[in-house]
Amino acid sequence: MIYKDETLLQDWNLTQIINGKEIMSPSPRIRHQKISKKLHKIIESFVEKGNLGEVFMLLWTLFLRKI
C-alpha cells in the first residue's frame, strides 16, 4: 500500500452518524493496542530487512509509505 504524504496529514474524522446522531468513535482498548503494536513490529522488521521503505503507525491505523 502506498499513500501520498497528503493522506498522512489529512484531518481525521473520528465520528460516525448512527440513527441520525453523530457518535464519537471510542478509543481502542488495551488488548487492541497490544496486538497493533506486535503487528507493527513484525511489519517494520520485514520492511527494514528488505530495505522496502518506512512504516508509520498514526492514530490507530497502520500506514506503509514507500520512499
| 8 Å CB contact between 65 and 10 | no
Q: For 23-32, what is each residue's pLDDT tens digit? A: 877 777 889 8
Report yes or no: 47 and 66 within 8 Å, Cβ to Cβ. no
Q: What pTM was computed for the model?
A: 0.53
Query: Mean pLDDT, the chain, as a whole number?
Result: 77
Confidence of residue 1 (pLDDT cuts 50, 70, 90): very low
pLDDT score at 9: 47
Amino acid 7: pLDDT: 54
**Whole-angstrom Cα distance, residue 23 to residue 40?**
28
> What are the boundaries of each domain within the chain?
5-65
39: cell is 503487528
